[in-house]
Copies of this chain bind each other. A is one copy, B any other.
Amino acid sequence: MANPKPAPACGCPVAAFQKMISGKYKLRIVWDLKDGPRRYGEIRTGLLRGASGSAEIAPRVLSRELKALTESGLIDRRDYGVVPPKVEYRLTRKGKSFVPVIAAIRNWGARHLEDNVVEMVAAE
């Protein structure tokens, strides 16, 4: 079954989009960052808040997603190089341009597939 994959991505923007946001937290990270820069721990805490109960987020996972988002050009990593470590993540211009898309998703989702968060629509 040695089948090489010469064509990684198709001409479909949707596929690229799906690949870009693949991962449990990517969309929420970008969304959380829309209000300004945040530190690693803040993002982590923010993700936990409202997540399914008390499940912790594996650092490995969060780290990977942040790295992927950085490589996608949606967010920017800023290391202050101090001790104790301080690292901030913020949206790039590209990332900011993506926020309205997430807003559209949230808006639609709040209307059509949420059973208890209708209030969120007005929230912003």
Interface residues of A, Cβ cutoff 8 Å to B: 1, 3, 5-18, 20-21, 24, 27-28, 31, 34-35, 49-55, 72, 94, 97-98, 100-102, 104-106, 108-117, 119-120, 123-124
B104 and A10 contact, CB distance less than 8 A:
no
Chain B residue contacts of A11, Cβ below 8 A: 50, 114-117, 120
Stoichiometry, copies per complex:
2
Query: Is A13 in contact with B119, judged by CB distance below 8 angstroms?
Result: no
Is there contact, CB below 8 Å, between B10 and A105?
no
B residues near A116, Cβ cutoff 8 Å: 11
A interface, over-half SS: helix
Residues of B within 8 A of A34 (CB): 1
Is A109 touching B27 in the complex (CB atoms < 8 A)? no
Q: Quick one: which of B18, B50, B119 contacts A10, CB cutoff 8 A? A: B50
List 16 A–B pairs whose Cβ atoms lie within 8 Å, in order of A's numbering. A1-B124, A3-B55, A6-B35, A7-B50, A7-B52, A8-B50, A8-B117, A8-B119, A11-B116, A13-B114, A14-B109, A16-B115, A17-B108, A18-B21, A18-B24, A100-B104
Minimum CB–CB distance for A2 against chain B, Å: 9
Q: A3-B55, A3-B124 are in contact. Are A15 and B9 (CB under 8 A)?
A: no
